[in-house]
Structures are given as structure tokens and as C-alpha cells.
Chains A and B, each alone.
Chain A
Amino acid sequence: MSSIWEYANPKKFIETVDKVLPFVSVLAAIGLVAGLIWGFFFTPDDYRQGSTVKIIYLHVPSALMAINAWLMMLVASLVWLIRRHHVSALAARAAAPVGAVMTIIALLTGAIWGQPMWGTWWAWDPRLTSFLILFLFYLGYIALWSAIENDDTAADLTSVLCIVGSVFAVLSRYAVNFWNQGLHQGASLSLDKEENVADVFYFPLLVSIGGFILLFLALVLLRTRTEIRARRMRALLIRERMS
């Protein structure tokens, strides 16, 4: 009888990661290279934005992953609080810096694009502001992890912070909407086709998003494995010193 919880066993998890990681990494590299090259060199310039439109292949996927990384951390935190699987807590910990970097990439590419297009590096637009707040949440989460010595306590506290933070992040998202009108365009990708970007940009964008998702997956798996091994090594060292 196999269930998903089998992978919560660190040993089984590491075995699986060892098997899966090379494929995920290679696929991520292919997706990123294909998506970015296709996007940068083989799509036409936009008639209003010129070639600056091409930053979309970095901006949209990283922004997407910035939010989804937090969602993944939320799920992992809930799993830790409910089922006490250590791998889950470590996966949440491993995802946080990756998510923070994705947030920075989204903010930076947005600023680089905004300078020629909006004439400003930064505007207190709802989307930009909520991303800045999201970045602060990431910083707080990472800082709390590293400030507490006891691993289990740290996992508990950061999990609760992640849950409370999610609620307040959503609140802030709607609060800033109320507070200022936006400069940012609507959704680039949505099921409602009307809003979407044009097809020429759409397909390379999908490939690039796929690449980013796989990249995130590869990084999280790798970092989680490292965390497990580091913790095991610490346990071995302590045992050695005791005997």
C-alpha cells in the first residue's frame, strides 16, 4: 500500500530525490533555455513597447513563483503542524529563500521595465506594493528560522507565522487596492482569454513558466536534501562525541 506520506520518511525522500533530481534539473534547464531564447530572439517586438516587452519572460514567471512558493510553504507548514513530518518543515524552510529571490527578480525586472515604459523605477501601485510586503514577509520568515536554535521550536513558530502571514498578506493585497489606483496592467495569463497577452508571446511564456516551475522544484528538492543531510550529520557528530 503506497501513499504520499511514505515520502515523508527522510530516507525514502532522499532516495526519491536522488532518482528524480537529475531529470528535473535537466528539464528545468531545457525549459528555461528554450523559453528564454524563443522569447528573446524569435518573437516580434511589441508595436508600442518595442523590445522591452521581452522582459515578460522573466517577470511573469518569477512573480508567479514568488506567490506559489509562499503557497507551497503554507501547505508544508500545515502538514508539519498537523502530521509532524520533519521533511515537510524542512521543505518549507528550503523554499523560503528561493521564493524571496523570485520576489526580488520580479521587483527588479518590473523596475527595469517600468523605467522606460512608465517613466519611473517605482510607483506605489497595488501590485508593486503587495510584492514589497510579500518580500518583507519572506525576510521575517527566514530571519525567524535562523534566530531560533531549537529546530522543532523553530519549525513550529515559523509555521504559525506562515499561516498568520498568509492571512495578513491577503488582507494587505486588498487593502492596498483600496488605497491606491493601479498603474500595472491586468493579468497576463488568465482563463478569461480576453485579457491575455497575444499568442506570439503566450506560448514562449508558457514554456518559460514551465522552466521556472521546474527550477523551483529542483532547487527546493536539492535544498531539502541538503537540510536533511546536514541535520543527520549533526546528529552523528553529537552521537560520536557522546560515546
Chain B
Amino acid sequence: MIALLIRDIRLAVRAGGGFGLGLAFFLIVVVLVPFAVGPETTLLSRIAPGILWIGALLACLLSLDRIFALDREDGSLDLLASAPLPMEGIVTVKALAHWITTGLPLVVAAPVLAVLLSLPEAGFLWLVLSLLIGTPALSVIGTFGAALTVGIKRGGLLLSLLVLPLYVPTLIFGAEVARRGAEGLEVDTPLFLLGAITLFSVALLPFASAAVLRMNLR
């Protein structure tokens, strides 16, 4: 499993692996927003938590189809499936690799980009914390979507259509934590609910992903 994890991370970091893609997209979204809504600091700092969450979510979405598609093309997915590793384990490792190469960089980049949107100082900690807790859920849910669409050529649009409604609860609670944190309100309730969603997804969705992957490889 660790070998698979290291292999996936190496492949992603290598040129053309799409490692920088999510980050670049995140940067672009955040830079473009002030051009669209105007440069007033009060407005920007009010919408900053939401914009940062949306940017992170879309950047995550962008890289989902890479989770299985390339492995499927060169046949290594079939090899993995016949390996002694259980399918649930493969799926979990894939989600973890996706999180390390996409989610974690987003979490690290978020405070830097938050400066551009003049996020209030109180909000930084909560923004990072909410992304840190929320992005694993995004990766796991996205892995499920990627497993569903692995057999479809050019399934990128379908993948987004399937995954977006599944992202709604995570987005609501994640953005709510960041918003309340930025406004100096109490954040416990949405924070715990966000954690609950992440734990629930991480615990149960790999089974669903493994099941659909098996169906797709049959």
C-alpha cells in the first residue's frame, strides 16, 4: 500500500502529472474575483471565505479524472485489481494520494491567497482548519465519482455533474466555518458537523468506490 502511495505521488508530481494544475486554477480563481466584483476591501473580505472554498473545491474537481483514468489507459489498474491488495485499500490509497497532491497544497496555499482577498485576521486559522478537515472529504467523494466514470471516455463533464451535488454538504459546513471564523463568531457547530461528514465519508465511501470499481473492471 505504501509503495502504491509513493508511486501515485511520484507520478502526480512528475511533469504532466497535473500536480500544479489544481494550485494554478486556485490561484487564477482568486486573482480573477477582484476583477469581477471590484477591488473594495470591505466587499472582498466579506466574500473571501466563500471564494476560497469555492476555488479549492473547483481545483479539487479539476484533478479528479486523473485518479483512475491514466491507470486505466495503460492497464495498471487491472494489475492493481488482481494484486493481493483489497480493492478498498487501493481506493483509499488513491484518495489519500489525491489529497496529498491536491488537497494539502490547497490548504497550504489558501492563507497566502487569503491575503489577496483581505480576509480578516481572525479568519486565517479557521480557514486553514476548515480546509484541512474538509478537503479529505472532497478527495474521498471525488474518488467515488472517478470510480463511477472510469469506464467512460471523456467522462469529465459527467464526473462533475455526479460529484457536485455530493459536495454540497461539505461546502456548506466548510464555508460556514470559515465565514464564522472570519466574523469572529462561534464556530463549534459547523466545525463538528464538517468533521462528522469527513469521518463518515472516509469510513464508508471507499466501500462504495471499491464496489463500483469492481463493476467497471468486470
Contact = CB atoms under 8 A, between A and B. Distances in A.
Contact of A147 (B155, B176, B189): B155
B165 A133 contact: yes
Nearest to A169: B165
Contacts of A201: none
A160 B161 contact: no
The interface residues of chain A, by DSSP majority, are classed as helix
Contacts of B151: 148, 153
Contacts of A156: 212, 215
A136 interface: yes
A168 B165 contact: yes
Contact of A175 (B149, B162, B173, B208): B173
Interface string A120-157: 00000000000001001101100110011000010011
B205 A164 contact: yes
A93 B138 CA distance: 28
A156 B212 CA distance: 8
Interface residues of B, number: 28
Contact-residue bracket for chain A: 20 to 34
A178 interface: yes
A26 interface: no
Contacts of B197: 171
B105 interface: no
B169 A143 contact: no
Given A140-B165, A147-B155, A165-B166, A175 B218 contact: no
B148 A144 contact: yes
12 contacts: A144-B148, A144-B149, A148-B151, A153-B215, A157-B216, A160-B208, A160-B211, A161-B162, A164-B208, A172-B172, A175-B173, A175-B193
